[in-house]
Chains A and B, each alone.
Chain A
């Protein structure tokens, strides 16, 4: 095998290897989804459930951003910082709710646009929030609620 042929094959090998890594990084890993953003909003919740960082932020079912950070205020309330695509205009009375995909899927933040003319700017806080629904608590309330009713009817 001549030197030129060998060099060519090595070049092909390196290109193929880099292409495979690029495919894994960009398509499979999803690095490109970090591109847009720019509108940073925060929202305070009593309960965030299983919400994780990088969870999607959704309006009418369409992803427009992701959860950037989850923090605790000094008086122990959860604050979720959202990174939303700046091309979308959200009125100041928009609301944020933590919902679950399906019944047991991953949790995400759903934004519902309000009706005011004034728009939210980067750094603003979303005033109206709805905390995560906890299925375990619902079941617990149901079970213990039943027990309470039974005890009351016995008296």
Chain B
């Protein structure tokens, strides 16, 4: 019967979803265990991962930050002029960037640039049986490959977030002070007044760390469990970007509601 088939399919999907969640949970526990027991000779590996994840993302982060700041400054300036409140541009832009746009946009950009690269690299290592080779030599691939990559992602995200926000503030300053004639001193003073360390800056760093952990987990998991063909590698990469982007936006809502902004 059709109804019975439909319910059967629903049951099968639910079961496989729960299985998948379980595999992800076991994987993240194994990653955490691997990170907790670092080997000192993994340090060059870790530095290499920071280079691949952080330094290579710098151009897009700084460029996007600059342009986002410029657009924000331009748009908000015209809106604030309606209320005669142009002088509050610094605080408004600062609060927007620090609380929301900074961590979320950095997360999405890093997902696209470094997250996809990470997933692809691990998937290719899987496809070319490198991870299997490590297992036969009694080297736990989770501890020696996944661990440094995940840690590097979590480590780089707050740094890139800070650089993004500073680049954006620079862009806003350029537009507001140089182009639109706002007083530089007033801009900075309102910026300092509008952003609070305990609530805003700490909140942004927490968000960045959470997003970094999410991207790390999704990218490494997709790469690690991908099939062994070119098509599978490509699927792992694209599903990383899509899944991680969605989860970043969801997590942003959760952290914002829980945090005392």
Enumerate chain A interface residues (CB-CB to B < 8 A): 3, 6-7, 9-10, 13-14, 16-18, 20-21, 23-25, 27-31, 54
Contacts and interface: CB of A to CB of B under 8 A. Distances in A.
Interface size class of B (residues with CB under 8 A): 20 to 34
B159 interface: yes
28 contacts: A6-B48, A7-B47, A9-B51, A10-B47, A10-B50, A10-B54, A10-B55, A13-B51, A17-B54, A17-B156, A17-B159, A17-B162, A20-B162, A20-B163, A20-B165, A20-B166, A24-B98, A24-B162, A24-B165, A24-B166, A24-B204, A28-B169, A28-B201, A29-B195, A29-B196, A29-B197, A30-B197, A54-B196
Interface in B40-79: 44, 47-48, 50-51, 54-55, 58
A16, A18, A28 interface centre (most CB from chain B within 10 Å): A28
Secondary structure at the A interface, as helix, strand, loop or mixed, is helix
Contact of B192 (A14, A21, A28): A28
Contacts, number: 75
Ranked nearest first, the 9 interchain pairs of A and B with the lowest CB-CB distance are A17-B159, A29-B197, A20-B162, A31-B197, A21-B162, A29-B201, A20-B166, A13-B55, A28-B195
Contacts of B160: 17
Nearest to B201: A29
B117 interface: no
A120 B33 CA distance: 57
A13 B201 contact: no
Given A9-B55, A14-B159, A24 B201 contact: yes
